[in-house]
A and B are shown apart, each in its own frame.
Chain A
Amino acid sequence: MSAQPGVEPGATVRLRDVHRTFGEGRSAVHALRGVDLDVAPGELVAVVGRSGSGKTTLLNLVGGLDRPDEGSVRVDDVDVAALTEDGQALLRRDRVAFVFQTFGLIPVLTAAENVGVPLRLRETPVAERERRVEMLLDLVGLAPHALQRPDELSGGQQQRVAIARALAGSPRLLVADEPTGQLDSETGLAVMALIRGVVEAEGMTALVATHDPVMIALADRAVRLVDGRLVGDGARV
């Protein structure tokens, strides 16, 4: 099944006939079954679907954390599936940033240090790194908590740190997997608004897996996954 046949060639994300199966034989789980998807630059797309529908698999393939069994995954016109392991790491370091449902913060690092991790991976000069970390923490409203470690922050604060960290490397694509899944509705809304805001402010593309109607409402469009297939026409759902 195809979707968005009319997207122009300069799409940031382009998936064509992507299949991904886990396991073999009768116990095989077909996570994705021939998914086609294009995400235009600057677009915020929500991926909607029930648990087990293949949302996370889709995001992992886009972020180079996994490889498709069939089909192609291109990000900024780069064939992600063809990249080596190091190439995929470079892709995540330079172009794609993740925000995880469980925040993914390193527990022994402070908020500022967590935000600085992508910059350290790029070996950004120290002064520039510190400036950017300060700016990003300020952006997410956590400047006063810069020296606190994750277990000293609330869930919302941790997710905001995770978002700040994702933005630190100025990625072209932000991939967020249920970023509000662990948050209460009020905090989730704030986080959603933050994502929406930074996407617009930084001019980046975003692919967000979510159940959250608010997030869906904030997205430019939403696609629905059902049993590993995209359904609908890709318009707002």
Chain B
Amino acid sequence: MSDLWWRRGRAQVGVLAAVLAVMVAGAALIGACVLLTTASPQRALQLAIVRAPAADVQVGVALGFPDDPDDPDVTERVAATARDASGAVADATALLTAPFGDLPATVTTWTSTVMRYLPPDAGPLRLAYLAELDDPDARGTVASGRWPTAAGEVALPTSTARALGLDVGSTTTLAATPGGPGGAPLTVVGTFVPRPGAPWQEDPLDGSGVGENYRGAISAYGPLVVAPGGAVASGIPLLRVTLRVQPDLSGASAVDVTRAGTAVDALRGELDSTLGDRTENVVTDLPFARTLDAARQQRGVTGSGVLAVALLGAALVGTTVVLAARLVAARRAPEAALLAARGMGRSRLVGQAAAEAGVLALLCVVPATALAVALHRVLADAVGLGPADLPEGGLLRLAGVVTAVALTLGVLLVLPWLRTGTPRGTREDRVGVVARSGADLVLLALAAVAFLQLRAHQVATGAVADPVLVVAPVLCLLAGAALALRPLPLLARRADARARTARSLTLPLAAWGAARRPQGAAAAFLVVLATACATFGVGFAATWVRSQGDQAAAAVGTDLVVPARALGTGASLREATNGQVSPVTSRTVTLGSRVQSADEAVHLVAVDTRHADGLLRGRLPAGGWAHTTSGLAPAEAVGGVLLTGTSADLVVSGHVADDVAIDADLSLVVQDADGARAALAAGVVPLDGAPHTVTVAVPQDARVVGVDARLSAFGDAADPDQQSDVPFDLDLTLRDATPASGSTWSVARARGEEYVVAALDHVTATTAPDGVRLTLDGTAYLPGLYWSDGTLTALAFRPVEEVPVVVSARLAGQLGLKVGDGVQLALGLTPVHAKVLGITAYVPSQPRAPALLADVDALSRAALSHGGLDTLTDEWWVGGAPPPGAARTLAAQGLGPVTARAAVAQESADGPLRAPQRAATALLVVAALVLTLVGTALHSTTALEARELDVARLSGLGASRRSVLASLLAEQAIVTGASLLAGAVLGALACWAVGPLLVLSPQGLAPVPAAAVQWPWPAQVAMVLVLVLGCAALVVPLTARAVRRATIARLRMDPVA
């Protein structure tokens, strides 16, 4: 018998080689998918972490200490550490650097002391603090003098120096109590300008240098930067020590990243246990862990897509192998009939087939494993994950998977031998019809459930893959393919019915063949499913890429986001980008009495809505941003006083009745050329009747749109003579300035409603020979002004009481807001009343948050109208088409880190963490194309070999070869063409119905805005054409060969019906 096997194998080497090739390709396809879900994610994770911005892979800890370590409630150990934290810092450093092993890491430490009192100098209480930084040049630029190098030396931010009237060479002291004895004198040896952005996140004043309302009422100044060791040497207790470890991951391997991730995950507990008893609190900040978690989340989303592709690939491969099995069985049918006639039982036939299938499966393991590795390597290189090395033990695991797949495919090869009867190819038996209908119904029900689950699915779950995301598309496509086969016989039967009334034979014969030969179901299923997979894959990939772009646009909100707050930044941005520039308010706000939670904080975004379409990005369900934001911008232009040059030169004089001593701490509200506003401190001026000259640095093309005066009165509050209302006036002459057209000066509402100690009665602006003169007339209410400051603000526009806003649908839903409703915002301490003008799907840059969108000019006017002087410029947005290197250029100018929409979109679509999905989708499309052609070839070979006898019969009846060939080709065209068409339609339906539900954000959330279906016609048409032409290229020669082989000699082999 083995001799028979051997000889038979040699005789059928062609068909066995074809079967082996199909098994190798199929097992390799699944193997490649396995590598895409195992090896690729590790590599992707490594690349994502290595390429992440430095700030995203830091680890840090802040050690907090009590304000007063001498408090009896403070433990001795904590108090000792607050005075000298070197031991705690060393321990924290060791813990923070440990996860990165031998990788280089930079440790930076920020140490700040508790607040101490500055000398009173007869003024209000003022606080200041020391800070010790080991990387001063990274955090600031020396403006004058130098950084401190010795104990007792300090350097101040320029804003602090100006506000405190200190300069290089000045000295000051810090005291533990107001007016108490100061410590060692501190000599100012330099001033510096803080670099914008993250370097000052540890600073209590965020690098602003001045905090007017530190802890409610007292002004705070700082930091007073001391030399290394200076904080401890000063004797002032430490308030906080912040350590940051910045690892250099450029040389990190996947193993390094995995190990670091595991160690960082445990860091929080280790820091707590090691340092918890030496500090008041330990606050860990682990961007590395967050980045890694986000990457893992993305990996889960990506893994779902890859697994879905693997399942679809398995279905395609399985069907192809079934077709290959049929070909083998058809070739062996005469032999099997002979053996059966000679008494061989079915079980032995099945056993023989199983043995042969087992041999084929084992033969396919090595080439399939090698092919899977090669495929994975090619795909990884193509999507930017190369070089794709297998993880340790990966080859063995892969070989195991490939072996399992090969054996499963081997089982499929045996299936035809398990059938109890040889199909005659005529009418389908009723049991088969019922069974198939039942299976289809079950599949359809499962698909319906999966689809509903997918539609309700909001968040991807699972570290490796989300079951719903994996199963739903597979079931939908499988059920769709099964369902799509249903109309094909109906159509064929209609053609069959029409064939009865035809005179000729060619087309009717094709129709009869198509309608009455049910063996084509598997092939049709393969063609339908593969075509659907291919078209769905192409459409879904396009939809996914488009959605990532849309999500990036909605998340960024514009083309470039620059985290700068300074006036005049817009000019630099315009020069570098030639785009539409706007100062932007982007911050969380308190909305009425709504309770805030970390996840649901209401976000306020205010931009220059006059140029919304040029500035804002993100697709809306309907209409554009200009339409959405229409009506938000104020109708009236702001007036004010136009300045020349880069400084505002003021001559200030003030008079107070009854010689009451009042000082005015002046600020000019300056607006730059792009509409950004900020209150610039002009210094403290006594209202003593004498002129005082003040100079304030301003950006080019600036204008003064407001003047703020904080009045402080000095005197004996108990003196009955000084307890009346006292009128005063304040004249400010802005030299070389001109009044802006349409300028209308008005008075802002007094800040704080509870107790008014000074009020502004009139504001007038007149043109003076040397500039513009502003006169502020008001009344000071004594003795209240002795006890607290009085704040007065004059504005160059009519006060704005209500800001029109557009609210996000999420916020509207949460609060039940409707158009026309009013809401109360709190911008810090400044209340702003807003009115809902419209509801939008989302607010740019805050696609998921409950948010409000306002015009930055309107918001600023409203805040100023309520005496809110804090700058509202949190960042700058640039719209338009910035040149490719704009972000780098701006970062080089110190305006970084710049967020570029294009970069975010590219990272979302082409980043390493999404690469496995792209690779898998490409693999699915290619595999579908190849398997369609292979399956068609196998089926056509089987079907046409079975038809050779019919061809011979027809020849015997006088049919010409040409007409028989035409009939067979027409039949193949009907079967294959209809299947291709059905598959393309199914792919399109899946793309429309399922595709958008599979698109997720990088965090695994439903995309905002909702994914818009993309159907790239050129690619789809090209792919279908490839399928049609490929099938034709296979079927035509096979059919011609069958007709050629169908000689009269075939009739001698005709089994009796």
Interfacial residues, chain A to chain B (CB-CB below 8 A): 56, 60, 63, 65-66, 85-86, 89-94, 97-98, 100, 102-109, 113, 117-118, 120-121, 123-126, 129, 149-153, 155, 158, 165, 169, 182
The answer to whether A63 and B956 touch across the interface, beta carbons within 8 angstroms, is yes
Q: Which of B937-969 contact A (CB under 8 A)?
A: 950, 953-963
| Leading 7 A-B pairs by shortest Cβ distance | A93-B958, A92-B958, A102-B1054, A120-B505, A108-B516, A65-B1048, A150-B1057
Q: Shortest beta-carbon distance, A121 to chain B, in Å? A: 5
The answer to whether A107 and B425 touch across the interface, beta carbons within 8 angstroms, is yes
Residues of A within 8 A of B200 (CB): none
Task: Given A85-B961, A92-B957, answer yes or no on A182-B503 (Cβ-Cβ < 8 Å).
Answer: no
Task: Given A107-B426, A108-B425, answer yes or no on A155-B960 (Cβ-Cβ < 8 Å).
Answer: no
The answer to whether B517 and A182 touch across the interface, beta carbons within 8 angstroms, is no
| A-B contacts, 11 listed (Cβ < 8 Å) | A63-B956, A92-B956, A102-B1051, A103-B1056, A104-B1051, A108-B425, A108-B512, A118-B957, A126-B501, A151-B1057, A153-B1057
Which single member of A100, A149, A152, A153 contacts B956 (CB below 8 Å)? Answer: A100
Residues of A within 8 A of B1018 (CB): none
Residues of B within 8 A of A152 (CB): 426
In the complex, B215 has a CB within 8 A of chain A: no
Q: Shortest beta-carbon distance, A58 to chain B, in Å? A: 13
12 more A-B contacts (CB under 8 A) besides A120-B502, A126-B502? A63-B956, A86-B962, A92-B957, A93-B957, A98-B956, A98-B957, A104-B953, A104-B1054, A107-B425, A150-B426, A152-B426, A169-B958
**Beta-carbon contacts of B146-183 to A below 8 Å, as 1s and 0s?**
00000000000000000000000000000000000000
- The answer for the CA separation of A86 and B961 in the assembled complex, in Å, is 8
**Beta-carbon contacts of B496-514 to A below 8 Å, as 1s and 0s?**
0000011111001000110
The answer to whether B1055 and A102 touch across the interface, beta carbons within 8 angstroms, is yes
Size bin of chain B's contact surface = 20 to 34
- The answer for the CA separation of A138 and B132 in the assembled complex, in Å, is 114
- The answer for the CA separation of A98 and B961 in the assembled complex, in Å, is 17
Task: Given A103-B1057, A120-B504, answer yes or no on A65-B956 (Cβ-Cβ < 8 Å).
Answer: yes
The answer to whether B426 and A117 touch across the interface, beta carbons within 8 angstroms, is no
Q: Could you tell me the dominant secondary structure of chain B's interface residues?
A: loop
In the complex, B419 has a CB within 8 A of chain A: no
The answer to whether A66 and B1048 touch across the interface, beta carbons within 8 angstroms, is yes
Q: Shortest beta-carbon distance, B963 to chain A, in Å? A: 8
The answer to whether A151 and B512 touch across the interface, beta carbons within 8 angstroms, is no
Q: Shortest beta-carbon distance, B959 to chain A, in Å? A: 6
Interfacial residues, chain B to chain A (CB-CB below 8 A): 424-427, 501-505, 508, 512-513, 516-517, 950, 953-963, 1048, 1051-1052, 1054-1057
Residues of B within 8 A of A97 (CB): 957
- The answer for the CA separation of A123 and B507 in the assembled complex, in Å, is 12
- The answer for the CA separation of A117 and B950 in the assembled complex, in Å, is 12
Q: Shortest beta-carbon distance, B757 to chain A, in Å? A: 104
The answer to whether B953 and A106 touch across the interface, beta carbons within 8 angstroms, is yes
Residue of A nearest to B425 (CB): A107
Residues of A within 8 A of B1055 (CB): 102
Q: Shortest beta-carbon distance, A84 to chain B, in Å? A: 10
Residues of B within 8 A of A150 (CB): 426, 1057
Task: Given A98-B956, A103-B1056, A117-B957, answer yes or no on A151-B504 (Cβ-Cβ < 8 Å).
Answer: no
- The answer for the CA separation of A106 and B1054 in the assembled complex, in Å, is 11
Task: Given A113-B512, A165-B957, answer yes or no on A120-B503 (Cβ-Cβ < 8 Å).
Answer: yes
Residue of B nearest to A98 (CB): B956
Q: Shortest beta-carbon distance, B199 to chain A, in Å? A: 82
Task: Given A151-B424, A151-B426, answer yes or no on A106-B954 (Cβ-Cβ < 8 Å).
Answer: yes
- The answer for the CA separation of A89 and B1048 in the assembled complex, in Å, is 12
Task: Given A108-B516, A117-B954, A151-B424, answer yes or no on A89-B1057 (Cβ-Cβ < 8 Å).
Answer: no
- The answer for the CA separation of A117 and B516 in the assembled complex, in Å, is 17
Residues of B within 8 A of A123 (CB): 503-504
The answer to whether A100 and B1054 touch across the interface, beta carbons within 8 angstroms, is yes
Which single member of B425, B503, B958 contacts A90 (CB below 8 Å)? Answer: B958
The answer to whether A108 and B513 touch across the interface, beta carbons within 8 angstroms, is yes
Residues of A within 8 A of B503 (CB): 120, 123-126, 129
- The answer for the CA separation of A173 and B635 in the assembled complex, in Å, is 103
The answer to whether B1051 and A100 touch across the interface, beta carbons within 8 angstroms, is yes
Residues of B within 8 A of A90 (CB): 958
Residues of A within 8 A of B513 (CB): 108
Residues of A within 8 A of B960 (CB): 85-86, 89
Residue of A nearest to B950 (CB): A106
Which single member of A107, A118, A126 contacts B1057 (CB below 8 Å)? Answer: A107
